[in-house]
């Protein structure tokens, strides 16, 4: 495609939103364990805010409450498939930020439209890299489409500009396990190249590795 842009990741903070049940939050009794939605600033390694998910509710109601109290202007918000909701996308754009949202079968029609788009589109920007470490070889291929033909009701997703496909293949060097393959889809209000989208999407793991894992270690009760 030849998109010539200043890399948005060099000038914008990436904020990862994700939910986590707090380790050790339920010890006895009938109450549900505490589940929190956190906002993690990827470049600054900082928790920006947290909202407790109320009992008999879920992250879909907690995410807008967290977005409401944060200053998000000129940042990029990444959320897993639970947060792929039109209202959440609208809230992010209202905060003058951009979104990258994972799409799964909780948005069945959108998911199928994206599959069709990648099946028939011609103008696809592609970036592939290979990561070798921890006894495995992982190949990740990121494909991006900016002109849509098969996305129905796309105006319902505020500012939608890109759809992204990530194909990953993992091979273990010293194992007979064979290959592990996965395909994941995303939507975004950004216009960026495939290399940059791959970086943004990979950044979402930092909230798992640097926040959730650390909380598990710190809060785990001894047996």
- pLDDT tens for residues 168-197? 998 877 766 678 899 999 999 999 999 999
Structural domain contains residue 2: no
Structural domain contains residue 100: yes
Q: Which residue segment(s) compose the domain that 46 sits in? A: 9-219
Structural domain contains residue 59: yes
What's the mean pLDDT in 54-75?
Answer: 85
Structural domain contains residue 179: yes
Higher pLDDT, 143 or 43: 143
What's the mean pLDDT in 24-34?
Answer: 56
Report pLDDT for 68.
Answer: 94
Structural domain contains residue 1: no
Sign of the four-CA dihedral 198, 200, 203, 204: negative
For the chain, the domain total comes to 1
Closest CA to 160 of 143, 150, 148: 148
Report pLDDT for 217.
Answer: 45
Using pLDDT thresholds of 50, 70 and 90, give the confidence band for residue 163: very high
On the question of pLDDT at 21 being above 80, the answer is no
Structural domain contains residue 4: no
Structural domain contains residue 3: no
Structural domain contains residue 61: yes
Cβ atoms within 10 A of the Cβ of 63, count?
A: 26
């Amino acid at each position: 495609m030849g998109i010539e842009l200043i890399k948005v990741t060099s000038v914008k903070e990436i904020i990862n939103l994700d939910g986590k049940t707090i380790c050790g939050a339920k010890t006895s009794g009938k109450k549900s364990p505490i589940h929190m939605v956190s906002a993690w600033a990827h470049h600054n390694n900082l928790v920006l805010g947290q909202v407790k998910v109320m009992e008999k509710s879920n992250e879909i109601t907690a995410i807008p409450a967290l977005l409401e109290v944060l200053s998000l202007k000129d940042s990029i918000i990444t959320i897993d498939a639970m947060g792929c909701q039109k209202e959440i996308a609208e809230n992010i754009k209202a905060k003058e930020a951009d979104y990258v949202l994972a799409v799964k079968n909780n948005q069945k029609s959108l998911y199928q439209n994206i599959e069709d788009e990648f099946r028939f589109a011609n103008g696809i920007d592609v970036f592939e890299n290979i990561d070798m470490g921890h006894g495995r070889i992982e190949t990740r291929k990121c494909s991006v489409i900016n002109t849509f033909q098969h996305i129905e009701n796309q105006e319902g997703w505020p500012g939608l500009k890109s759809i992204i496909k990530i194909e990953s293949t993992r091979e273990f060097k010293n194992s007979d396990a064979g290959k592990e393959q996965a395909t994941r889809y995303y939507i975004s209000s950004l216009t960026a190249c495939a290399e940059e989208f791959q970086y943004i999407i990979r950044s979402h793991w930092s909230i798992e590795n640097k926040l959730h894992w650390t909380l598990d270690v710190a809060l785990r009760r001894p047996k």
